Amino acid sequence: MGLEEVQMRNLDHRANRAGWLRAAVLGANDGLVSTSSLMIGIAAANKSDFLVTAGLAGIVAGAMSMAVGEYVSVKSQNDIEAADREIEISQLATDPEGEFDELVHIYMKRGLSENLAKEVVTSMHNKDALEAHLRDELGHFDHTRARPVQAAVASAIAFTAGGVVPLIGALVSSSNQVNLILVFTALGLLAAGFISAKIAASPIPKTIIRIFMGGTLGLVITAGIGWLVGLTGI
């Protein structure tokens, strides 16, 4: 099998989508649920005269907090990976025999005989010892490396895309806004479930049900609290 064919086969795997997919699904789902919940909560409190304003504010605030949160969390993951890399560099410099044995044991645990493992590690060390240790000891792969800016942008765009759906519901007609928000949100949750199942190649019905139930639960709880607030007249 040629190198090109190996690379083509690797494209079949979804691991390289993990980073932005997680941020995008989380963002879209969060945008849908928090924006619609915000508007439904306000409607339940009988303060529906500024639903659209609240929805817009919710989208901007949510997209910003998602982006900043994603950037900060992925950046700290990057920092951890960079620190591990430095430790590995110094261990390879100060204790090359120990590092050699460590990788031999890793390959033996994966099923190689001791002699074969030593042969493999010798070749790996001759080619690029650091890369071999980062990959096989620490599990650092270039295609799964955390990309903070990509994750932040993906989650902000996804949040906004999710949040716009209930907002359109509120904009379609000034009467019946609550029902329209609910219908648009339900359709949005179904679409988000279908899209993420397709991208992740996960079972479609199960993924749709999981995202739909989670979103609905968020909506019901917020509407309940909004209704209570409305009752108290705060």
| Positions in the binding site for Zn ion (CB under 5 A) | 99, 133, 137
Closest to Zn ion by CB, 133 vs 154, is 133
Name the residue number minimizing CB distance to Zn ion: 133
Of 105 and 210, which has the nearer Cβ to Zn ion?
Answer: 105
Report the nearest approach of Zn ion to the CB of residue 125 (Å): 11
Find out whether 27 and 157 touch, Cβ atoms under 8 Å. yes
Please state the φ and ψ torsions of residue 95, each to the nearest 5 degrees: -140, 65
Asked if residue 192 lies in contact with residue 29, where contact means CB atoms within 8 angstroms, the answer is yes
What residues have CB less than 8 Å from 102, skipping those under 6 apart?
133, 137
Least separation in angstroms between CB 76 and Zn ion? 22
In the complex, minimum distance from the CB of residue 94 to Zn ion, in angstroms, rounded to a whole number: 11
Contact 51, 185 (CB under 8 A): no
Measured between alpha carbons, how far is 137 from 130 in angstroms, rounded to an integer? 10
Q: Which is nearer to Zn ion, 114 or 176 (CB)?
A: 114
Q: In the chain, which residue ranges form alpha helices assigned H by DSSP?
A: 3-12, 18-44, 51-94, 96-109, 114-136, 148-172, 177-200, 204-232
Nearer to Zn ion, 81 or 137 (CB): 137
Q: Do 60 and 68 touch, CB atoms closer than 8 A?
A: no
Cβ-based nearer residue to Zn ion, 98 or 224:
98
Nearer to Zn ion, 26 or 103 (CB): 103
Q: What are phi and psi of 171, to 5 degrees?
A: -85, -25
Nearer residue to Zn ion within complex by CB, 106 or 200:
106
80, 86, 88, 90: CA torsion to nearest 10: -150
Nearest-angstrom CA–CA distance, 186 and 180 = 10
Residues constituting the chain: 234
